[in-house]
Structures are given as C-alpha cells and as structure tokens.
Structure 1
Amino acid sequence: MADLITLGWRERLALPQLGIGVLKAKLDTGARSSSLHVDTLETFQRAGATWLRFTMHAGRRQPLEICCEAPALDRRAVTDTGGRRTERWFIRSEVQLAGQQFSVDINLTDRRHMLFPLLLGRSALNGRFAVDPARSYTQPRPMTAATDLR
C-alpha cells in the first residue's frame, strides 16, 4: 500500500479516446465495475464488429452534449446498488488520472440521477491507487486537448 498513490473519493480524470478531457468521477471501492453515464446508446456494425455509439451530457454550468463511438467489449450482467441485475454494454477505454494512463472496462448506463457521470470501481483502482474517503480532488486536472466536461 505504501507504493500506491492516495486519491480522494472524488477526482477529475480524462477519457482521451472518447474525446473527454476533464470529467468528475466518484471513486468507489464498493463497486466492482466502472460506469459511465450515457443519454442515448445504439449498436452498429463496423468491419464485422459490434460498435457502440452513445451521447452524454455533462457539466453543470453549461451542459455539453458529446457523441462517442467505441468498439463493444461485451455485454454483462451488473448488479446495481439497489440489488437489481441488468445487462449492460461494456467498452474498454484509456483513463488518465494522477499522471497515469491505463485501460479500464467501463459499462454504459443511465446515471442522470447520480452526482457524478463516471463511477470508477475497484477493478480499475486495485493495485494502482488507495482511496481516502476524507479527501477530494487531490490531483490536478488532466491536461488533454479533449472536451472539458467538468
């Protein structure tokens, strides 16, 4: 644990492959998987593979719609905090956080009633970071050319 970077329970990160430069995320060691808010989601075929096209609105002051496309990783059953199991599409995306860049499997779901558009679960955090629930926003904003959705 001494080698791990300690983060707060909420941080700003980037999803550069999706064109998202700054996004507020909740770091949740109680959730296994990571979840990204989407408003719309559709599947389509590209070169014989299933892809996902999705839109999201983020940012409280000036909500901005962003349209993303990513190859579908798979579809899995996920149990939410209320104990309900649902099938969700997963993608794999690069995350930039605390000066590191790494791949994370992220499920796409409606999080409009949640405070944070992205929940980063323990499978993304394990072996990389420790989370101090008494701290918030311990890291500087990611520096990318992508869209700022804080």
Structure 2
Amino acid sequence: MTKKIIGRVDKVDFPKLNLFDIAVKIDTGAYTSAIHCSKIVEQNGVLHCDFNGEAITFSAFSRTDVKSSNGHKENRYKIKSEVIVFGKSYRINLTLSTRDDMRFPVLIGRQFLKHKFLVDVDMEHVSFKQKCNEYSNTF
C-alpha cells in the first residue's frame, strides 16, 4: 500500500458528526486523535455531546487515559467515527476534549496516521486543495 503524503495541517470532513472542512493539526507527537466538543454528558449509558452547536449522541463509547505534552494525564471519552481525507473514508478513534483555547479543533495522532500517511511538515492543506481542485473541475 502506497502511503499518501499529508502536510502539517489540513481540512477534513467528519460526515457522521456533520462536520465539514474542519481544520486539523497533524501531530506525530500524539498517539491518539482528539476532537473538540462541549457539553459532554453521560446519561443512562448514552453519551451526549455538542459539536459546533449540534447535539450528537453515542451509544458506543469507551474511556481512555491520555497524557498531554506537559505530562498531565486525563481520562477522556473515546468514540469511533469516520474521517474523509484525500476523498477516502477511514475509520478513526477520537478522544473528546474541550479545545476552546486551541488553534485547531482536531489533532490527528500516530494511531490514525500509521500505515496510511507520511507527514511532510513543509506542506499544508494537501487533501483540502485536492478536494477543491476536484470540485472546481466538475463545472
């Protein structure tokens, strides 16, 4: 399998979360991927979350410990979803985090990147540019 080259930042789609052209930071220092959401509440075995003002519920979820770059350990909810990169849909594990104070609402970590992508830190928005070019060529 040939690995695609992805840049240090991009914009991708999370169709099951109704999120499109979402800015992501490719973070080879992070093992897991994380996505911003708010109002995370577990109630009667169902996880309720808010993504960009839209309430979404999950019946399948788990919890996992995540260690930040400063060594702080946090127990987070983890969901399975899908992400579209370079026009292809992939399954992805996402930990849920409040990232209000962060520049990027999503971090893509090594667990997702391995066996699929090589990271070129000199490049940006490679998948998004391809998507825009394909869209403009349809007219």
Q: TM-score range by the shorter chain?
A: 0.7 to 0.9
Residue 94 of structure 2 is aligned to residue 106 of structure 1: yes
CA distance in 2, matches of 1:11, 1:73: 26
How many angstroms apart in 1 are the aligned matches of 2:21 and 2:54? 13
Gaps of 5+ in 1: 58-64, 144-150
Q: Is the 8 A contact 1:18 1:69 kept in 2?
A: no
| Greater fraction of residues in helix | 2
Q: Which consecutive unaligned segments of at least 5 residues does structure 2 have?
A: 133-139
Q: What percent identity do the matched residue pairs reach?
A: 25
Counterpart of 2:90, as a letter, is F
Match of 1:140 in 2: 128
Rounded Cα–Cα distance in structure 1 between residues aligned with 2:35 and 2:19: 12
Q: Secondary structure at the match of 1:139?
A: helix
Aligned CA-pair RMSD? 1.8
1:11/1:26 contact within 8 Å kept: yes
- Of residues 117, 122, 128, the one that matches 2:110 is 122
How far does the alpha carbon of each residue in 1:117-136 deviate from its partner, in whole angstroms, 9 at most, with x for none?
00010101111111111110
Superposition TM-score, scaled by structure 1 size = 0.80
Aligned-partner Cα distance in 2 for 1:40–1:67: 9
Q: Distance in 1 between matches of 2:43 and 2:82?
A: 22
- The runs of 4+ residues in structure 1 deviating greater than 4 Å are none
Q: Determine the C-alpha separation between the residues in 1 that align with 2:42 and 2:47.
A: 5
Q: CA deviation at 1:90?
A: 0.2
Tell me the CA shift for residue 41 of structure 1.
0.5
Q: How far did 1:51 drift?
A: 2.5
Of 70, 81, 89, 1:82 maps to: 70
Corresponding residue of 1:148:
none
